[in-house]
Every structure is written in C-alpha cells, then in structure tokens.
Amino acid sequence: MRLKLAAALLATTFVTAPVLAQSETDKDARITELEARLEAQDARIRQLEERLLTAAERRPLAEASAVPQNGTSAVPAASEVSQTARVATAAPTAPAQSSALSISGDLRLRYEHNGSDNDAPDDGRGVLRARLRAAYQVNDWLELGGQLVTGSQDDPNTTDVTLGNFDDDLEVSLDQAYAHITRGGLDIWGGKIPQVFRRSDLVWDGDVNPQGIAARYRVPLSSGVSLGAAGIYFPIDRSITGPDSTMTGGQIELAADGSMWSGALAAAYYDYRLGSIATADAGDFRGNLLGPDGRYLSDFDLIDVIAEVSVRPWGARWPIALTADYVKNLGAATAADSGYSLALALGRSSEAGDWRFGYGYSRAEADAVLAAFSHDNINLATNYQLHSLTADYVYRKDLILNATLYLYRPDDPLYAGAEDPDDWLSRLRLNALFTF
C-alpha cells in the first residue's frame, strides 16, 4: 500500500512539475511586460510634464506682449460696442502652430437701424467687420506683431464695411505693424502700434491705432497697488514744404486691486501740433470748428482725466463698474472746449452664460476733442449729447451677442449746422461677435 502511494505521488510530481514551471515562466513574463508598460508610462508622464513646464515658462512672454489692460478676459467685453474706459489692446491671442507664434481674430456681423424725428428718413444697413492678428515672440524681450482689418484705409477710427455696392470685394489693410520690447516693468512699441493709454470713446475711438513710438512703465507700490506711466510721440501728417503735424502725449495712472473691488485714476495730456493737414479729409474735421482758411479754428491741447471703480458685492459674475471721463481742450479758440462721459455697467462678459448690462451718458462740446480720433459710434463726433444702453450675452466663449441703443442730438444749436438741434436721433445695433 505504501509503495502504491509513493508511486502515485511520484507520478503526480512528474506530471505537474512542467505545468508549474510553465506557470512560473508565464508569471515572470507578465511581470516583465507590466514593468515595461510602467516604464513607458513614466517616460510619457515625464515628457508631458516637460511640455507643461515649457508652456508655463513661455506663457508670461505671450501675456507681456499685450499692452496692460484692466479687466481683460479671454472674451472681448461689451467695450466692443460701448463707451467703457480701459487700456486698449489688440484682442487676446490663441496658440497657433508653435508656442512662439500666436494668431487670433474676430468677425462681427451687425444690423444697424438709424431713425430720426425730422432730419432724414429711417435707414437700415448690414455691416461686417473682420480682423486677423498675429504676433511672434522672437526671444524673451522682443515681439513682432501685426493686424489685418477690413474697412477703408483712409479712416483710422472704423473698420466697418457696409454690405452693398453690388457685391464689390472688401478692402483690407494693415492697421498694426510693430515691434514690442519688454524689459522688466518697461514696455516699448514702435511702428503702427496698439493703443497704450487708458481710454474711453470720448477721446480715443477703439479702432484708432497710433503710429510712432510709445513706452509704458509700471511699478508696484504695495500689495495690489501700482503706479504706471505711458508716453507717445505720434507723427500725424508729414509735410516737405512746411511743419509736420504731430502729437506728444503722456499719462500717469494709479491702480489698485482688492479681493472685492478694483479701481484706477489716470490723468493724461495730449499736445497736438497740427502744422500740415494735407492728407486730412472730411472725416477728420467732422464737428470741429474751421477757420476761414479751412483749417482747424482751435489748437488741441487736451487734459483727460479718467476714474474707474469696480465692486463685486455678488461675486465675480455680477460686478458693478462705474467709469467717468472728463476732457478739456486748453487750446480751444472758443468756450466750447470740454466734455465728459459717465458709464455704469452690471455683470461681466467673459464666460459662457454671462450677461452684462450698461448705461452711459456723454456730452462733448464742439472743440473739446480732436474729431479725427474720437469715436464714430454716432454721426456726431463732437457737439453732442448721447445716451446709450447696452446688453451683452455670452452664448459661448467664442460668440457674444449684443444689442446697443444710442439716443443723441446736437449739444449747442450754434454749431448744429444742418442738424435739427431739437431732434433726438436713434441708432440701434444688433451684433454677433465671433472670436478665435
């Protein structure tokens, strides 16, 4: 019996030993395979971490390429169509083929209706605007940029195109081409450049991109508080036979940003020396007073003061913003030398589902501002009283829907010209703004 049992055990050992050996071999192979997979995953993770680190290091360079702007977000705010004070910049850019190159743009489709009591029959039109921007970060201190836009190249304060003219092709021009140097808190631009000043439509239209050389410097004073200064030399019109037309300007700004509020106070001085007006056209004079020689009656030495405060009592989605702008022309030849604007806004327009509502009132006397670079939201660039109502809805991060209503009339009947000084005019704009 014992011999039979031993024989059975010996036989079982001979039968199962190869199977167990094969099982151990398969187990070792699987372990080896799993270790190889883990090593491959670790290598992939290290590669992704290196890419993220590289992108994080380069991102501040791309952000520094824009002119500092208060409240800038990835989606343009209602300031596309309303009179909100801000530092104007090219629109935010999105990554393109490489991290050093950024390309962005937008397309705005608009229906506009103009009405009046007595001046003219009501009129409606379709309007299109397209912009394409590119910037290349050459190194850690130099950026080269440019922007292509629709609209007449002879009109610096609009890029709109009225749809019509028997389907003629659109005119496209280069309205920015610049070099941008960043060294610490100092930014320098040269060429045809983005706007560098905190501004409102009262003095600077949002489409005006000056030319020449400009610089901006900002230094932190304490936590959330900074002091900034900007300056520009702006050649306007060159003359071979006489003095050129130029503007030299500067702005000082104090800004503060807290957990529940932010604010800024800026004061600017713009000294225009209009020696040559050879290339000026009717759009550059509109509203400003002319002398018997057909030239500007006044000189333009503008003091512009902007105050802005924003509070967030209901969180980041529903801020309340109040902006005031006052301008006085020290070189005016008449008493019609000042203007002001007030704008109140509720809400934001930076995330999908956001709403933003605004009301504004502005008044500008005939020679308070230089009409060539003031806003073109209405037919009157100077000598006007204006009420505006705006509503923005962010349908998606890349699509904003807007409605804006302007009610306006001439301010002083003495300078109303052919306009009826008692006639309130209206302009309704319905906009769809697509961005990328």
* DSSP states along 154-188: T-TT---EES-GGGPPPPEEEEEEEEEEEETTEEE
- d(CA 58, CA 320) in angstroms, rounded, equals 34
Stated length of the chain: 436
What is the full per-residue pLDDT of the chain (436 aa) written as tens digits?
A: 443 434 443 344 444 444 434 455 555 666 666 666 666 666 666 655 555 554 444 444 333 333 333 333 333 444 444 444 444 434 444 444 457 999 999 999 999 999 987 667 789 999 999 999 999 999 999 999 999 999 998 889 899 999 998 999 999 999 999 999 999 999 999 999 999 999 999 999 999 999 999 999 999 999 899 999 999 999 999 999 899 999 999 999 999 999 999 999 999 999 999 999 999 988 899 899 999 999 999 999 999 999 999 999 999 999 999 999 999 999 999 999 999 999 999 999 999 999 999 999 999 999 999 999 999 999 999 999 999 999 999 999 999 999 999 999 999 999 998 888 888 999 999 999 999 9
Count of other CB atoms within 10 angstroms of residue 255? 21
What angle is formed at CA 379 by the lines to CA 367 and CA 322, rounded to 5 degrees? 75
Domain 65-435 class in CATH: mainly beta
| Torsion angle (degrees, nearest 10) of CA 66, 70, 71, 76 | -50
**CA atoms lying within 13 Å on the CB side of residue 49:** 6
Q: Taking the chain, what is the end-to-end CA distance rounded to the nearest angstrom?
A: 89
Exposure b/e, 265-275, CB count within 10 A at least 16 = b: ebbbebebbbe
> Mapping DSSP to helix (H, G, I), strand (E, B) and coil, where does residue 432 land?
strand
**pTM given for the model:** 0.78
Exposure b/e, 12-40, CB count within 10 A at least 16 = b: eeeeeeeeeeeeeeeeeeeeeeeeeeeee
Q: Which residue has the tokens 């008044």?
A: 363
